C-alpha cells in the first residue's frame, strides 16, 4: 500500500433549505481510487467544482468519506482516534497565505506547529532552521510576515507544514494569488522538498506549467478521475483537456497549433527546449 | 471624456515614522474606450493606483481629472464618480450577500436612486452581458460555481452602467476555461459599449491576448506604458521586477537564438504559430 490510498471513495454534500429540510444530495467525489507512493510528485487538475479540493481535504481527515476508505500512511481516516497522527503524516497548504500565518515573526510562525506537538525546544530550533532553509526563507527568519511578499509568505506557510516532518504535503492552489515571480519561488520550493527531502507532494493547481515535472497527473471532472497519466500523456490530449475546461502549457498549445498547420511534431511537447529541438532541424533542412 | 492623472503621489502613514511611498509621481492619460492592462508584482502599487481612480483613496498630492473635472475639487460629486467608475475588487464573490442572484445585481442600481423597474431592467441587461444563464437568476448566489459567482459580482458593477470598469484580478482562482470565458465577455462588452476597461492581472498570457495597452507598475511608479509587443520586448527587465513575459516570448527567443528566423515580437499563440510557420517555409 502506498502512503495515500483511496478505495471507492464517495463524498456527498447534503443540501438543505432554510428550514433544514433535505433538498438534495450533491456527489462531490464519486468512486475515486488512488494509490500514491512515498516520494512521488502528484498533480491534480480539474475545473472549478470538479471535486479536487474536496478530495484533497480527505487526505488529512478534514473530511471523511461517505462511502469507501482513505488510508494515510496505513491509517484509516474514519478512525477518529487517529486524526492527529494522520494530520502529522499529511500536512496541508491552502490558497491564501494570509489565512495560515499566525506568528509575529517568521521563525516563531514556523516553530508553532512543532511546539504544539511537544517537541523539545532545542529540536524546534533545528526544525525551524532546516525548514526555512529548505524553502529558501532562512534569511528572512527575523522578519515580520506582514513585510513579506505573497510568494515569500506562502513559502513560510510551507516551511510551517514541513517543520512538522510530514511524509506528505497537500497543496491546494498554493499559487493562485501570486505574481509570476512568487509562483516560480513557491513551485521551486515545493520541488525541492520533493526531490531533496523526499516528501510526497500532491499539488492542486490551475496553472498547467506548474505540473510538467510531476510524476503523475490526475484530471478530475464531476467528482471522478477523468484522465490519468504522466504530464506528457495528459498534455498530448489538447482537445480533451479543453473539453474538461482546462488548458495546456503555452508551449504545448503552440506545438499543437503548428501540428494542425501540417508541421510534423510529436505529441505532448512540454518545454521550450523540446520544441526548439524539434523545430530547429526542420528549419535547417532546406538550407 | 477621459481619466487624467497629473503627478499623483500617495504616501501611506504620512507624517509617521512608518510612512511608505506607495505611488510616486504618476502621470497617465486614459482615453475613452481603451482596454488597458495593468501589471506589476505584489506590492508594486497597482491596486492602490486603481483605488485612486474612483476616489476610494485620496492622493497625498497631485490631481486626478475625470472628464476634465478635478475630482478633489470641493464641489465635485464623489458619489457620481463612483457610479461612473466601477471597481470590481479581487475575489468580488465574497461581497455577494442577497438571497438571490437577481436581487444582488439590483442592489447597486437601486442605491443610485433608480426606480425598481429601471433597476431590474439594468440588472437583467447586466446579467445577460456577463453570460449568466436565465435559470440561475433566482438561485442563491452561494450555490453557484466560482466562475458564475464571479460573473454575478461583475454584473453587479455593470448594472451601475459605469463609463470606466476597473477589474482587479478578475480571473484569480478560476479554471482556464472560466478565465477565457470571463475575459472574452469583458472584451465583447468593451467592443459593444465602448466602455474603458482597466484590467489588473498577474497572468501575462491573458494580458498579451486581450489588451491594447499595458501599464507596468514597479515600486509605485510607471515603469513601462506601451502596446503589449513593446512592453514584452523588455522581458529581461520585467523578470528583474518579479514579472515575466508570456511563455511564447521565451519560445520565440530560443528559436531565434538557434537560428530560426522568427519574429520575436509575437505575443499570442496565433501570432507565434504564424511566424514559426513562415520561418519554416522560407527555409524549406
Instruction: Give per-residue pLDDT as tens, A131-165.
Output: 999 998 999 999 999 888 888 899 999 999 999 99
Chain B residues near residue A280 by CB distance under 8 angstroms: 255, 258-260
Q: Quick check: helix, strand or coil at residue A143?
A: coil
Helix axes B101-111, B116-129, angle to 10 degrees: 120
Q: Are A219 and A241 in contact (CB under 8 A)?
A: yes
* Helix (H) or strand (E) run with residue A232 in it: helix A231-235
| Distance of alpha carbon A157 from alpha carbon A149, whole angstroms | 12
Distance CA A193, CA B129 (A): 46
- B176–A206 CB contact, under 8 Å: yes
Residue B215 near residue B225, CB atoms below 8 Å: yes
Cα(first)–Cα(last) distance of chain B, in Å?
52
* Per-residue pLDDT tens digits for A86-144: 999 999 998 888 888 888 999 999 999 999 989 999 999 999 999 999 998 999 999 99
Q: What is the pLDDT of residue A14?
A: 81
Minimal-distance CA residue of chain B relative to A146: B43
Q: Which residues of A21-44 are buried (b: 16+ CB within 10 A; e: fewer)?
A: eeeeeebbbbebebebeebbbbbb
What the block records as the C-alpha cell of B97 is 450577500
Q: Which residues share a beta bridge with B164?
A: B85, B196
Q: What's chain A's average pLDDT? A: 90
Measured between CB atoms, which of B175, B242, B250 is closest to A272?
B250
Chain A interface mutation, best of B12, B42, B140, B170, highest count of A Cβ atoms under 10 Å: B42
Give the strand pairing for B213-218 and B35-39.
Answer: parallel
Q: What is the mean pLDDT of residues A178-206?
A: 91
Residue-range domain boundaries for chain B: 2-228
Q: What is the largest CA-CA distance in chain A?
A: 77
Closest CA to B273 of A219, A251, A21: A251
For residues A51 and A127, give the distance between their C-alpha atoms in angstroms, rounded to a whole number: 34
Cα–Cα distances in angstroms (integers) from residue A140 to residues A126, B43, B176, in the given order? 16, 17, 34
Q: How far apart are CA B103 and CA B110, in angstroms?
A: 10
Model confidence pLDDT, tens digit, residues A208-238? 889 999 999 999 999 999 999 999 999 999 9
Distance from CA of B90 to the nearest CA of A (A): 10
Q: At what angle do helices A180-195 and A150-162 cross, to 10 degrees?
A: 20
* Residue with grid cell 513575459, as numbered in its chain: B245
Q: How far, CA to CA in Å, does B122 sit from each of B43, B110, B167?
A: 36, 10, 20
Which of A152, A181, A210 would best serve as a mutation to test chain B binding (most B beta carbons within 10 A)? Answer: A181
Nearest-CA neighbor of A72 among A155, A9, A135? A9
Q: Let me know if B21 is exposed, middle or buried by CB neighbors in 10 A (0-12, 13-18, 19+).
A: middle
pLDDT tens, A202-214? 999 988 889 999 9
Cell of B243: 514579472
State how far the alpha carbon of B25 is from the alpha carbons of A20, B5, B8, B9, B226, in Å. 57, 9, 5, 5, 18
Query: Are B175 and A261 inside 8 Å of each other by CB?
Result: no
pLDDT, tens digit only, all 284 positions of chain B = 689 999 999 998 888 887 888 999 999 999 999 999 999 988 788 989 999 998 899 999 999 999 999 999 988 988 888 889 999 988 888 888 888 999 999 999 998 889 999 999 999 999 988 888 888 899 888 888 777 888 899 999 999 989 999 999 888 878 888 888 889 989 998 998 899 999 999 888 888 889 999 999 999 999 999 999 999 999 899 988 888 889 899 999 999 999 888 998 888 899 999 999 998 887 65
**How far is it, in rounded angstroms, from Cα A49 to Cα A53?**
8
Which has more confidence, A56 or A287?
A: A56
Q: Which residue of A has its CA nearest to B200?
A: A179
Output the CATH code of domain B2-228.
3.40.50.300
Q: What is the pTM of this model?
A: 0.83
| Separation between Cα atoms, residue B239 and residue B39, nearest integer Å | 12
Which of A180, A185, A243, A270 should be substituted to probe chain B, the one whose Cβ sees the most B Cβ atoms within 10 Å?
A180
Q: Residue B207 phi/psi, 5° resolution? A: -60, -45
Q: Which of A18-32, A80-94, A251-265 has the lowest mean pLDDT?
A: A18-32
Nearest residue on chain A to B243, judged by CA atoms? A180
C-alpha separations of B20 from A81, A193, B23, B24, B45 in Å: 50, 36, 9, 10, 11
Query: How close is the nearest chain B Cα to the Cα of A245, in Å?
Result: 5
Q: Pick from A150, A173, A249: which is nearest to B42 by CB?
A: A150
The span from the CA of B263 to the CA of B250, in Å, is 12
Residue A286, pLDDT > 60, answer no
In angstroms, rounded to a whole number, what is the distance separating the alpha carbons of residues A159 and A174?
Answer: 13
> Per the structure block, which three cell numbers stand in for B78?
464623489
Q: Which of the four pLDDT bands, split at 50, 70 and 90, describes residue A287?
A: very low
Residues of A in contact with B175 (CB under 8 A): 46-48, 50, 206, 245-246
> What are the structural domains, with CATH classification, of chain A?
4-248 (3.40.50.300)
Q: Would you call B176 and A276 a contact, using CB atoms and an 8 Å cutoff? A: no
Amino acid at each position: 500500500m502506498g502512503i495515500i490510498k483511496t478505495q471507492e471513495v464517495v463524498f456527498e454534500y447534503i443540501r438543505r433549505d432554510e428550514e433544514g429540510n433535505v433538498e438534495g444530495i450533491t456527489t462531490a467525489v464519486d468512486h475515486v481510487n488512488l494509490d500514491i507512493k512515498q516520494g512521488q510528485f502528484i498533480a491534480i487538475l480539474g475545473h472549478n467544482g470538479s471535486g479536487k479540493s474536496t478530495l484533497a481535504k480527505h487526505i488529512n481527515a478534514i473530511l471523511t468519506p461517505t462511502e469507501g476508505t482513505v488510508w494515510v500512511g496505513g491509517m484509516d481516516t474514519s478512525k477518529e482516534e487517529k486524526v492527529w497522527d494522520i494530520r502529522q503524516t499529511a500536512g496541508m497548504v491552502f490558497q491564501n497565505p494570509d489565512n495560515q500565518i499566525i506568528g509575529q515573526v517568521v521563525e516563531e510562525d514556523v516553530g508553532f506547529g512543532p511546539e504544539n506537538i511537544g517537541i523539545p525546544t532545542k529540536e524546534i530550533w533545528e526544525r525551524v532552521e532546516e525548514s526555512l532553509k529548505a524553502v529558501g526563507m532562512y534569511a528572512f527568519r527575523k522578519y515580520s510576515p506582514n513585510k513579506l511578499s505573497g510568494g515569500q509568505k506562502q513559502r513560510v506557510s510551507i516551511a510551517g507544514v514541513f517543520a512538522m516532518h510530514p511524509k506528505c504535503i497537500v497543496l491546494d492552489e498554493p499559487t493562485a494569488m501570486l505574481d509570476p515571480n512568487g509562483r516560480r519561488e513557491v513551485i521551486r520550493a515545493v520541488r525541492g522538498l520533493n526531490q531533496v527531502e523526499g516528501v510526497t507532494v500532491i499539488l492542486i493547481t490551475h496553472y498547467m506549467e506548474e505540473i510538467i515535472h510531476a510524476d503523475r497527473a490526475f484530471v478530475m471532472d464531476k467528482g471522478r478521475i477523468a484522465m490519468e497519466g504522466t504530464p506528457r500523456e495528459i498534455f498530448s490530449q489538447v482537445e480533451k483537456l479543453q473539453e474538461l475546461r482546462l488548458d495546456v502549457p503555452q508551449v504545448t498549445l503552440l506545438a499543437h497549433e503548428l501540428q494542425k498547420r501540417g508541421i510534423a511534431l510529436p505529441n505532448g511537447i512540454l518545454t521550450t527546449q523540446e520544441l526548439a529541438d524539434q523545430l530547429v532541424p526542420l528549419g535547417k533542412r532546406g538550407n | 471624456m477621459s481619466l487624467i492623472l497629473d503627478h499623483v503621489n500617495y504616501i501611506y502613514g504620512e507624517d509617521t515614522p512608518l510612512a511608505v511611498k506607495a505611488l510616486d509621481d504618476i502621470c497617465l492619460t486614459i482615453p475613452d474606450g481603451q482596454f488597458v492592462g495593468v501589471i506589476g508584482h505584489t506590492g508594486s502599487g497597482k491596486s492602490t493606483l486603481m483605488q485612486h481612480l474612483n476616489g476610494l483613496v485620496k492622493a497625498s498630492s497631485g490631481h486626478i481629472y475625470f472628464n476634465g473635472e478635478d475630482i478633489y475639487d470641493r464641489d465635485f460629486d464623489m458619489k457620481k464618480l463612483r457610479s461612473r467608475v466601477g471597481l470590481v475588487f479581487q475575489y468580488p464573490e465574497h461581497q455577494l450577500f442577497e438571497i438571490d442572484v437577481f436581487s444582488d445585481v439590483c442592489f447597486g442600481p437601486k442605491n443610485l436612486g433608480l426606480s425598481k423597474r429601471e433597476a431590474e431592467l439594468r440588472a437583467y441587461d447586466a446579467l445577460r452581458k456577463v453570460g449568466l444563464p436565465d435559470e440561475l437568476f433566482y438561485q442563491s448566489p452561494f450555490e453557484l460555481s466560482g466562475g458564475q459567482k464571479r460573473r454575478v459580482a461583475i454584473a453587479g458593477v455593470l448594472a451601475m452602467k459605469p463609463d470606466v470598469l476597473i477589474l482587479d484580478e478578475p480571473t484569480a482562482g478560476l479554471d482556464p476555461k472560466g478565465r477565457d470565458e470571463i475575459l472574452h465577455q469583458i472584451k465583447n462588452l468593451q467592443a459593444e459599449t465602448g466602455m474603458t476597461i482597466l484590467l489588473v492581472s498577474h497572468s501575462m498570457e491573458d494580458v498579451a491576448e486581450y489588451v491594447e495597452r499595458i501599464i507596468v507598475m514597479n515600486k509605485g511608479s510607471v515603469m513601462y506604458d506601451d502596446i503589449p509587443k513593446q512592453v514584452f520586448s523588455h522581458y529581461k527587465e520585467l523578470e528583474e521586477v518579479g514579472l515575466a513575459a508570456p511563455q511564447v516570448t521565451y519560445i520565440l527567443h530560443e528559436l531565434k537564438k538557434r537560428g530560426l528566423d522568427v519574429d520575436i515580437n509575437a505575443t499570442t499563440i496565433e501570432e507565434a504559430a504564424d511566424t514559426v510557420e513562415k520561418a519554416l517555409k522560407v527555409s524549406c
